[in-house]
Amino acid sequence: MQLTAVIPSHGQTALLRTCLIMLERALTRAALPGTAIVVLDNGTLTPYRPAELGVADVRIVRFDSRHSFSAACNRGVREIPAARYLFLNNDVFLHPEALLEMLDVMREHRAGIAGTRLVLPDDTIQHCGVRFDGGERGPYHQDHGRPSAIITRATSFPQAVTAAAMMIDHAVFTALDGFDEGYPFGYEDADLCLRARQLGVRIACAQGWDSLHLESFSDRRPDRHQASRRLFFERWRDRYAIDGDESR
């Protein structure tokens, strides 16, 4: 298998269906010889049924109780091993060209991890790479909220990218032992990328196409990141390069 897409999802069947339809279009455009899709049904009250998901071939792994994003993704990787994995939020709708560009960026720049440009419904940036500030701000999305039209399309090489749409080589994911399941919600992607950089892995972010991200549509709890944020700073404070503006 060349690529396995891993999508943790809780409820919101219509949202997941749209995500899968857009993913299937992007997979078709990428024209890889072998791909698979794994949906982690993360404790949905009424279990997902393949017939209602809008794509012909998807494997559903059912959890009867909620698992963390890290635990769900790690389980999805074990379900269908592949040369590369794509981690995808159910509220991300990929541009048809996005996966092909991510693959090209990884090959051209010998990157072990690649993210992609994500925009909000108003065409402003949700993600085009993660930067790191000093003090209490820590990791943040570069150019978040700025119009996509004024942000460079050049491939970038940030310290981290979001796992809302992240591609990673099997060898890198295995060497890192996957996502750290100690993170209950959030910051597991920044942690993964920083650990990868310690191994000399290059991280890239493809900027050519705008994929839509509804940003936390599936979980809007105001305190959802607090426990993971504390853990991240316990492990990484003063251990990453400061490349952001502390005054912002």
Give the CA dihedral 140, 145, 148, 154, nearest 10 degrees.
-20
Residues 6+ apart with CB under 8 A from 99: 26, 27, 29, 30, 86, 167
Place of tokens 């809780």: 10
Q: Classify residue 241: in a domain, yes or no.
A: no
Q: Which residue segment(s) compose the domain that 7 sits in?
A: 3-236
What is the chain's pLDDT, residue by residue, as a tens digit (248 residues)?
Answer: 999 999 999 999 999 999 999 999 999 999 999 999 999 999 999 999 999 999 989 999 999 999 999 999 999 999 999 999 999 999 999 999 999 999 999 999 999 999 999 999 999 999 999 999 988 889 999 999 999 999 999 999 999 999 999 999 999 999 999 999 999 989 999 999 999 999 999 999 999 999 999 986 555 555 667 899 999 999 999 899 998 764 44
**To which H or E segment does residue 7 belong?**
strand 3-9
Quick check: is 109 in a domain? yes
221, with CB counted inside 10 A (0-12, 13-18, 19+), is exposed
Q: Is position 61 within any domain? A: yes
Structural domain contains residue 242: no
Q: What is the pTM of this model?
A: 0.95
Output b/e per residue, 171-188; b: 16+ Cβ within 10 A: ebbeebebbbbebbbbbb
CATH value at residue 12? 3.90.550.60
Q: How many domains does the chain divide into?
A: 1
- Give domain status of residue 101, yes or no: yes
Tell whether 246 is covered by a domain. Answer: no
144 in a structural domain = yes
Beta bridge partners of 9: 41
Q: What are phi and psi of 188, to 5 degrees?
A: -70, -30
